[in-house]
Structure 1
Amino acid sequence: MIIKPKIRGFICTTAHPTGCAEHVNRQIAYVKGTGRKLDGAKKVLVIGASTGYGLASRIAATFGMGADTVGLFFERPASDDRTATAGWYNTAAFEQAAREAGYVAESINGDAFSQEIKEATLKLMKEKLGKIDHLVYSVAAPRRTDPVTGETYASVLKPVGQAYSNKTVNVQTGVVTDVTLEPASEEEQRQTVKVMGGEDWSMWVEALADADLLADGFTTLAYSYIGPKVTHAIYREGTIGRAKDHLEQTAHDLTTRLKPYNGRAYVSVNKALVTQASSAIPVVPLYISILYKIMQEKGLHEGCIEQMQRMYERLYAGGEVLTDERGRIRMDDWEMREDVQQLVDEAWAQISTETLPELGDLESYRQEFLHLFGFGFDQVDYEADVNPNVQL
């Protein structure tokens, strides 16, 4: 099959196995290229391990700390007329590289919210890892079925309290327009917290503890975002922000529960990046295109793997972990620097379809978006006939 990108809205419906492998191998090469091997976690479970920050966490854990891993994700294998999802190909490439390097790399494909997958994961971990010293929870999902009640919840991206209007961009055409989002109802807010908050993270830690799979000194991470004022109404002060508040409270609750293990739960606030999740949020792609230009010019730009490598260096550097007043690890510290955000504000006030090429870097956004699905790499021959049926 000759595979080309097929983009619909903010998703790409195809993925390229060779390109995804190139993407993974570049991240592995970055971690190896730092020349640093952290004395950190050695047995790691990553929930949401196939793309974005979760994938980068798994790569940094294995090749930056020497960790054996189990990864959990919800991806689709190839069929007769469809490619697999990018996360499927990413995982295949990671597993091959990790195993060739002598590490345990096992995976489970299924719904992380379900009791069935939790039980299957615990069984696999007992067989392959034993007690773990680190859990990464990196799940971005549109809906969740509660395994106890059977109720299904759906998350929404909406402001809270009042309608919100601001600029956004059509990533494919480069046209800047205004977008207005109506406020969420109380029920939509509740359901979004149920999907994107910390309830399932807490259930996973409890299940691991009940299965006697937590090692002394166990740490766990979940990921969040705060962002600038221009995105607050749609993100931090919107429905997703309500969920992230719950996530942060969960971290505090888990830290208390982990005291018998000398453990700790953290929320890491990460930088705005092109991910499958962020591409779906109005306003954010335009902000990222401006941010990228500014941070690249200042030599501050990082991708997922650079963020996760730096985060683990902070987490496992020895001594007390540097956090903000709310106990969060602030990996967005470079993004939120005053000089960076001042330039963002100035550009935002002037941004339009006509000024975007000068004030933003939409081309970098498009390139990184294609990379998520294995496209846009000069080293890959996209005219070559490839087999989409890659096995895990």
Structure 2
Amino acid sequence: MKVEPKIREFICTTAHPEGCREHVKRQIACVKREKIIHEGERVPKKVLVIGASTGYGLASRITAGFGCGAATLGIMFEKPSNGKRTATPGWYNTAAYEEEARKEGLYAKTINGDAFSREVKEKTIALIKEDWGKADMVIYSLAAPRRTDTEGNTWVSSLKTTGEPFTEKSLDLRNNTIAEKTVEPATAEELEGTKKVMGGEDWLDWIKALKEADALAEQALTVAYSYIGPKLTYPIYYDGTIGQAKRHLEHTAEVIAEEFPSVQARISVNKALVTQASAAIPIVPLYFAILYRVMKEQGNHEGCIEQMVRLFKEKLLKETPPVDEKGRIRMDDWELEEDIQNRVWEIWNQVTTENVEQISDIRGYWEDFYQMFGFGFENIDYEKDVEIQVSIPSIK
């Protein structure tokens, strides 16, 4: 069937299998152009990626596999095609990753299910012990709207402030207009739910389960991804419910280090990028569009794959990674440079519906958005019929 993008607010409800394959292949090519491993560095060889099908998780898997030659086991929660509707982009991405990995002789298997559940943890551990013995790296890159924990309790995350209502300019993704958006403060229950979903509790559950099953190597490395952002977005992000959850995630790295001294737990604070999760946050997409414009002008813009290449190549695999005063690896260092942020703020004060396309990179924002779903690649003929039912070999 012919597949076209169908947009509903901040999400695309279709995905193009050939476009998603192209997206994965371009990320693989980016990794292959770089020398990720340097002499004397630790080289991960058996990498578990929790949240492996899109965004930073997918880029991490590609970097580990094609940059380090690692066997990878990915955990995802995606839907295959039912013959009438397309699969989710993460399904197609994973099919493409496994296909390309097989060509290179790389181990690649995937478990599709709720990563928060006990069932998926047990299934993952069984597969690790059967195929690898132990994993030596665990990448935690989950973003979800809700979580049912191992005790059966369901928690829901919220995108709200934690103080007063916050009103600021926002980009309406339905029509590219600029209007003020007010974000209301969260209740105590909503804040707690967001911490339960987006905080570090499940990351800790994974490490505990792996250690108790003796499925984690000595001196294994685990990394989880966070975001801070500029002061402009603090009320909705860093000081909001999501930011409070990220603080919990960051504290969890300390808890893991205390409970399991043989595990090296790291937090990587990444750059602002268009992902399925970030597109849903009010006010943030407009900041992204302006930031893209400024960083592209400065020549230091990075996408997900470029971020992960730099993380692995320059920081994560070092014996002593460079960290800030709180022990975090800062991949947002270029984003938060004073000159960059001053220019962003200058444009922010000028931007209106009438000039947004001229003074921001709204086109670049939408290009990244569409490419997440496999659309917008110049070498793909979107007029052609494509097979939407694509299998993933490791998923029976």
What corresponds to 2:285 in structure 1? 285
Residues of 2 paired with 1:342 and 1:6: CA distance? 36
Is 1:220 equivalent to 2:232 in the alignment? Answer: no
Runs of 4+ in 1 over 3 A off after TM superposition: 35-39, 315-319
Kept after mapping to 1: 8 A contact 2:35/2:313: no
CA shift for structure 1 position 376: 0.3
How do residues 94-133 of structure 1 correspond to structure 2 at under 5 angstroms?
Answer: 94-133=97-136
What corresponds to 2:325 in structure 1? 325
CA shift for structure 1 position 224: 0.7
Residues of 1 paired with 2:36 and 2:94: CA distance? 24
What corresponds to 2:197 in structure 1? 195
CA shift for structure 1 position 324: 0.5
What corresponds to 2:161 in structure 1? 159
Kept after mapping to 2: 8 A contact 1:15/1:84: yes
Kept after mapping to 2: 8 A contact 1:163/1:180: yes
Residues of 2 paired with 1:181 and 1:256: CA distance? 37
Matching residue's letter, 2:232: V
Kept after mapping to 2: 8 A contact 1:37/1:66: no
C-alpha offsets along residues 244-277 of structure 1, whole Å, 9 cap, x if unaligned?
1100110011112231x2x311111000001000
CA shift for structure 1 position 316: 4.7
What corresponds to 1:2 in structure 2? 2
User: TM-score when scaled to structure 1?
Assistant: 0.97
Matching residue's letter, 2:384: A
Aligned length: 389
Q: Aligned pair in 2 of structure 1 residues 53, 76: CA closer, same or farther (>3 Å)? A: same
CA shift for structure 1 position 99: 1.4
Matching residue's letter, 1:131: K
Kept after mapping to 2: 8 A contact 1:171/1:362: no
How do residues 249-328 of structure 1 correspond to structure 2 at under 5 angstroms?
Answer: 249-259=251-261, 261=262, 263-328=263-328
How do residues 1-392 of structure 1 correspond to structure 2 at under 5 angstroms?
Answer: 1-38=1-38, 39=41, 40-148=43-151, 150-259=152-261, 261=262, 263-392=263-392
The percentage of counterpart residues that share the same residue type is: 55
C-alpha offsets along residues 293-352 of structure 1, whole Å, 9 cap, x if unaligned?
000000000000000011011335533110000111100000000100000111111111
Q: Aligned pair in 2 of structure 1 residues 116, 319: CA closer, same or farther (>3 Å)? A: closer
Residues of 1 paired with 2:318 and 2:369: CA distance? 36
Structure 1 unaligned segments of length 5 or more: list them. none
Residues of 2 paired with 1:352 and 1:318: CA distance? 44
CA shift for structure 1 position 104: 0.6
Kept after mapping to 1: 8 A contact 2:23/2:374: yes
CA shift for structure 1 position 125: 1.3
Kept after mapping to 2: 8 A contact 1:171/1:366: no
Residues of 2 paired with 1:251 and 1:284: CA distance? 26
Matching residue's letter, 1:10: F
Q: Aligned pair in 2 of structure 1 residues 105, 33: CA closer, same or farther (>3 Å)? A: same
Q: Aligned pair in 2 of structure 1 residues 305, 221: CA closer, same or farther (>3 Å)? A: same
Kept after mapping to 1: 8 A contact 2:289/2:361: yes
Matching residue's letter, 1:271: K
Matching residue's letter, 1:162: E
Residue aligned with 2:389, SS:
coil
